Amino acid sequence: MDKKIAVIRGDGIGPEVVNEAIKVLDKVAGICGHRFEYTDLLMGGCSIDAYGVPLTDETIAACKASDAVLMGSIGGNTSTSPWYRLPADKRPEAGLLRLRKSLGLFANLRPAMLYKELYRACPLREDIAEKGFDMLIMRELTGGLYFGARHTEEVGGVMTATDTLTYNENEIRRIAVKAFDIAIKRRKKVTSVDKANVLDSSRLWRKIVDEVAGDYPDVSYEHMLVDNCAMQLVKDPAQFDVVLTENMFGDILSDEASMITGSIGMLSSASLNETRFGLYEPSGGSAPDIAGQNIANPIATILSAAMMLRFSFDMDREADMIENAVSKALAGGYRTGDIMSEGMTRCSTSDMGDIIAKFCG
Ligand code: IPM
Ligand code: MG
């Protein structure tokens, strides 16, 4: 099969980790007789440097003309980088938010599982870690606080900032349907997370999720308040299968979930619209402090490429090849610095890519 992939390497460790994902994709393409054609695009800080804006209309058009988008990460050090002296809507993150919105990527899937080999990298107490966990966070990605109107003004001589959190029932329904659809293929449990004891948007969220749940009698579901969920994630992560939540709660909870897998460098993600099109990126950031040193963990990006094969290209066998290769690399004791433990073999970003590519075939 021939596929056109838009590639946004981005900033910080982005280019390094994307290179390893492409290495692995090319290996799989060679074995299975596919042809992947890559188009390099700029977004984030590198786009600001080149074009003065974090995302150009041409980049959006090129993404739309592709079968999927593979991304690294964007942004820099928020205290020191000149990108953060620009107005908020000209900063690197604004580019990512606009790209998600322009491509209609409302469903963000962030799987978080504990590999048994990484058990020792998990910061949780041993009796909790040994039970393992395998959850998928379904984060709403194009609504809520990140897209509501915002402004800062002086009110009676006092600086005042306002952000607005809005959801309509259609936005809630379509993400809830995605969550229940995927739960059917997993362990058939949805935990819908909100703050319904305080927020109107959460009360509507609950009502609509209840309605959607009625169409899925085989899926068990529950509601959980977000503060309790943050606690349950470290107390008993094994209880979760699909965690359905709105944009900001999902942003925060997915970072927490990633950390208990051992490292944020392990967490892949897929952002999907109503069609098969998607954007695939590691959940972690651009880690400017370790950029360019060939020490970042490329596994999250490599696993994101596997999600791209599975969700956008319908290549389950090829996705399995990559996921199995990652397991073999971990079982073989290969570790980047973030997941290193005693007795293991420390490897660089590019070593890890080589090893995973080797285990694909
Ligand atoms: C993420 C990131 C982004 C987000 C930032 C960079 C805008 O934290 O993908 O989780 O908040 O969505
Ligand atoms: Mg985040």
- pLDDT in the model for residue 121: 86
85 shares a domain with 3? yes
**Can you tell me which atom of ligand 1 is nearest the CA of 97?**
7
Domain-ending residue, one of 198, 233, 260: 260
248 shares a domain with 171? yes
166 shares a domain with 84? no
* C-alpha angle 31-32-35 in degrees, rounded to nearest 5: 100
Residue 250 half-sphere exposure toward CB, CA atoms < 13 A: 31
Q: Which residues have C-beta atoms less than 6 Å from ligand 1?
A: 75, 93, 96-97, 251, 283
**Can you tell me which atom of ligand 1 is nearest the CA of 96?**
7
- pLDDT in the model for residue 359: 98
In a domain? residue 95:
yes
Whichever domain contains 285, its CATH number is: 3.40.718.10
99 shares a domain with 133? no
In a domain? residue 265:
no
- pLDDT in the model for residue 224: 98
Q: How far is the CA of 251 from the centre of ligand 1 (A)?
A: 6
Q: List helix spans (H) across the chain.
A: 14-32, 45-51, 57-64, 92-102, 126-129, 169-184, 200-213, 226-235, 247-260, 299-311, 316-331, 349-360
Cα-flanking dihedrals φ and ψ of residue 310, to 5°?
-70, -50
146 shares a domain with 67? no
- pLDDT in the model for residue 361: 86
**Residue-level length of the chain:** 361
Containing structural domain, residue 191? 123-260
233 shares a domain with 150? yes
Domain-ending residue, one of 215, 234, 260: 260
Reported pTM: 0.95
Domain-ending residue, one of 225, 260, 295: 260
Nearest Cα residue to atom 11 of ligand 1: 251
- pLDDT in the model for residue 116: 87
Measure the CA–CA gap between 301 and 19, rounded to whole angstroms: 9
Per the DSSP assignment, residues forming a β-bridge with 279 are: 69, 271
Structure tokens that stand for 180 in this block? 């229940």
In a domain? residue 47:
yes
Give the closest ligand to the alpha carbon of residue 246. Answer: 1
Pocket test for ligand 1, best of 81, 84, 91, 93 (most atoms within 8 A of CB): 93
DSSP 61-113: HHHHTSSEEEEEE----TTT-GGGGS-GGGSHHHHHHHHHHHTT--EEEEEEE
**Can you tell me which atom of ligand 1 is nearest the CA of 146?**
11
Total structural domains within the chain: 2
131 shares a domain with 231? yes
Q: How far is the CA of 70 from the centre of ligand 2 (A)?
A: 17
Nearest Cα residue to atom 9 of ligand 1: 283
144 shares a domain with 236? yes
In a domain? residue 53:
yes
Measure the CA–CA gap between 305 and 324, rounded to whole angstroms: 13
286 shares a domain with 321? yes
- pLDDT in the model for residue 194: 98
pLDDT tens across 281-325, in order?
998 899 999 999 999 999 999 999 999 999 999 999 999 999 999
DSSP 108-142: EEEEEE--GGGGGG--S-HHHHTT--EEEEEEE-S
Q: How far is the CA of 196 from the centre of ligand 1 (A)?
A: 24
Q: How far is the CA of 296 from the centre of ligand 1 (A)?
A: 19
CA distances from 174 to 104, 141, 194, 223 (A): 12, 12, 16, 17
Pocket test for ligand 1, best of 71, 89, 96, 286 (most atoms within 8 A of CB): 96
In a domain? residue 269:
no
| Contacts of 170 by beta carbon, 8 Å cutoff, 6+ apart | none
- pLDDT in the model for residue 284: 87
In a domain? residue 267:
no
- pLDDT in the model for residue 127: 94
Low pLDDT (below 50) residues in the chain: none
In a domain? residue 317:
yes
Structure tokens that stand for 260 in this block? 């208990």
